[in-house]
Structures are given as structure tokens and as C-alpha cells.
Amino acid sequence: MRSHRGEVSFPGGKRDPTDISVLDTALREMEEEIFITRDKVEVLGECAPLPNKGGTMKVHPIVGYIKEPIEDLDSIIFNKDEVKRVFTVPLQDLMNPEKRSMVQFRNSKFLYPVWNVEKEGITIWGLTAFIIDGVLRRIAEEGPVQAMEIPEGAMAEEYRPPKPSA
């Protein structure tokens, strides 16, 4: 958290020598950061590796969902040395084009996705937003069944990425 203070992110971190795969790293980091055990998660797949913002390492996004709904977020115990707080964003909000904007950062000629989550008072941007956008685009392009297994009722087929502005 020291190098990404204030940024919204998924659980994750560097591979330990005892990790047998990037999946093992992702599951271990989840267990260490938000104390959800790997047997409680259905892994759906792995996205293509992405560079971190400094280009010094590759991030391997693993997509999954928690098998049993968590009714009370306050019941989640998390590692306060690594996590400031835990929250959820409904899939409908991530798929709603009115909740998402495309923003140009610094001197880049590219536009990047940004979600403003008013209820939580946070902004999802950077690599986390890029990962979310990539997963949603894959679902939209390939359909929820071809892209990955989607939990019943997720309404993933409704996501339509915005058209690039001319």
C-alpha cells in the first residue's frame, strides 16, 4: 500500500518463492490481504498480463467471484497494514456507461476508463480500471458464456463499451 497509497486496487502482490504459479500468488495475496480463503472463490480465468505504471513488472489479473454472498461488508476482516477499506461496486454500475468516463492522463494521447463511485466516494482509475474494462470488453465481445463463466443474474451481456470519440 505504501507505493499505491489512496489508489483503489484488487488484492495482489509479488510472487513468493513458495508460490507454484501466478494463480497461487493471487490466491495467497487475497488470503493475506482480505482473509478470504481460496476455497471460497471460484476462479474464472486469467487475463493477459499488463505492465505496472512504471513498466518494471507484469501484473497477471486473475478473475474470480466469491461463491457465497457477503451480506455485511463490515464482517470482512482485512489486513490493515495493506488495505485501508473494503467495498463493492455493483456490476450494473460498472456496466452503466453513465457511470464511466474516458479520461486523458498527463501528456498521453490515449483515453483511459475511469469510474466515479459516488456511494463510496472513490474513483477507480489506472491499472484497476484498465483490468475491469478489459474484463467487461471481453464479455461484451465474446458473450458471457464464451468469455468466462458468469454468476447467474450478473447481467454481463448488457455491457457495451463506449465508442471512441472522433
Q: How many residues does the chain have?
A: 166
User: Higher model confidence: residue 155 or residue 91?
Assistant: 91
> Which 8-state DSSP code applies to residue 15?
P
The pLDDT of residue 71 is above 90: no
Domain boundaries for CATH 3.90.79.10 within the chain: 1-86
List, for residues 137-153, the tens digit of each pLDDT value: 887 776 555 544 444 55
> Model-level pTM?
0.78
The pLDDT of residue 124 is above 60: yes
Question: What residues have CB less than 8 Å from 127, skipping those under 6 apart?
Answer: 9, 50, 52, 53, 59
Are the C-beta atoms of 12 and 18 separated by less than 8 Å?
Answer: no
- pLDDT at residue 48 in the model: 86
For 60: left if phi > 0, alpha if psi spans -120 to 50, otherwise beta; the answer is beta
3-state SS, residue 51 = strand
Q: Cα(44)–Cα(70) distance, rounded to whole angstroms?
A: 19
β-pair type (58-59, 62-66): unpaired
Name the amino acid, one letter, at 31.
Answer: E
Pick the CATH number of 1-86 from 3.30.450.40, 3.40.50.12280, 3.90.79.10, 3.40.50.720: 3.90.79.10
